[in-house]
Structure 1
């Protein structure tokens, strides 16, 4: 097998592993990866603002707003306007939302981070540079993505 084929097979395996984990998440708790990430952020900081969630998981505020619309429609989260400053709207989990977060499986990235942190610093740097170069070669530098290994469409129809 040629080197580029070996690399593409390895990339496909990574994509497939993330996809399988995402399907498990969806089947287990009925959420996409991005929805769960948003809910975990809300659980950690009840009353968090949309911009703070967006900054925390590296997605746009518009994407977060779309996710919140879907979570509210399913009674998993709610937005509450501040009584002191009407411009501020905090996000909170409902009881159903709290239960869904508790029932969610362990994120795939926890296992990855554990193993990655065991590498020497030069190996970590080399891997980061290599994968960033691959993203560049695939014209993917500007794609909206969070630093979590859970898939889920970030398009409006699937959130």
Structure 2
């Protein structure tokens, strides 16, 4: 938890983005063009949360949103040049570092870690908890 917090602070100092904003910007940039629904699914958050994050990114000029030309109900999201530049200049987020290190482990080591984490989750009765509110840092009761 402490490593996550320190990484989030480093990211915020370097970019002004929260970790969830960075993740959403990464998803948009990687996709080239995508929808808020697809972003929410990929990020593992609700569509309302994804929309709020997109609002913040758009306000900073890091993404653009445009209605579809054939179906006006569809909103297409794209990263701007400034958004792509932000991603290249940002420090590696902790989850990417973890992914890289985890991928280097042998299959049996990966399986042991996953099994241990699942067991810990079960011990904490965390199976039914929605973790998506934890993707946004700050006081839980803020408006």
Pick the TM interval, shorter chain: 0.7 to 0.9
| Per-residue deviation, 1:152 | 4.2
Question: Structure 2: any 5+ residue segments left out of the alignment?
Answer: none
Larger Rg: 1
Question: Structure 1: any 5+ residue segments left out of the alignment?
Answer: 1-14, 146-150
Query: What's the TM-score, normalizing by structure 1?
Result: 0.76
Structure 1 moving runs of 4+ over 3 Å: 154-158
Counterparts in 2 of 1:75 and 1:86: CA distance versus 1, 3 Å: same
Query: What is the aligned counterpart of 1:27 among 3, 8, 13?
Result: 13
Q: Report the Cα distance in structure 2 between the residues aligned to 1:24 and 1:152, rounded to whole angstroms.
A: 16
RMSD, aligned CA: 2.3
Counterparts in 2 of 1:76 and 1:114: CA distance versus 1, 3 Å: closer
Q: Which has the higher contact order (CA 8 A, sep 6+)?
A: 1
Select between 31-40 and 43-52 the one with higher mean Cα deviation: 43-52
Q: Report the Cα distance in structure 1 between the residues aligned to 2:79 and 2:97, rounded to whole angstroms.
A: 26
Task: Report whether the alignment pairs 1:67 with 2:72.
Answer: no
Aligned length: 139
Counterparts in 2 of 1:157 and 1:26: CA distance versus 1, 3 Å: farther
| Per-residue deviation, 1:44 | 1.3
Q: Report the Cα distance in structure 2 between the residues aligned to 1:156 and 1:56, rounded to whole angstroms.
A: 26
Query: What's the TM-score, normalizing by structure 2?
Result: 0.83
